[in-house]
Amino acid sequence: MQINFVGKNIEITPAIKTYITDKFSHIEKRFNRITQTHIVLHVENIDQIAEATLYFDGIEMHAAAKSHDMYQSIDMLVDKLTGQMTKHKEKIIDQHR
């Protein structure tokens, strides 16, 4: 899986890159068809916002999370994406029954 990072009004440090890579490696283990991930981190006033778009099987899945801490925003983002991916996977399984 290829991960692209973009930072708006924030410098993406190696620590943040490592944290995101670790979190998204867990998603990749559960859903191994992800080909590319595009992550945008930005700051608006006091809000730290994390957005991600995943590409797999011709599908584009997007989620965003906002909090006062970037690491918390990333955690919330990963939780949202995991939920969306699980729902999508269950939908496909139900269609094949």
- Kindly list the domain boundaries of the chain, sorted by start residue: 2-95
Please report, in tens digits, the pLDDT of each residue of the chain (97 residues total): 899 999 999 999 999 999 999 999 988 888 888 899 999 999 999 999 999 999 988 889 999 999 999 999 999 999 999 999 999 888 888 887 7
> Selecting from 3.30.160.100, 3.40.50.2300, 3.40.50.150, 3.30.200.190, what CATH number does the domain 2-95 have?
3.30.160.100
Model's pTM, two decimal places? 0.89
pLDDT of residue 57: 82
pLDDT of residue 58: 85
pLDDT of residue 6: 96
Question: Contact at 8 Å (CB) between 92 and 59?
Answer: no
- Which H/E stretch holds residue 31? none
* Token pair for 44: 């608006």
pLDDT of residue 1: 82
* Token pair for 67: 């909090």
Distance CA 80, CA 93 (A): 20
With b meaning 16 or more CB within 10 Å and e meaning fewer, what string describes 27-36?
bbeebeebee
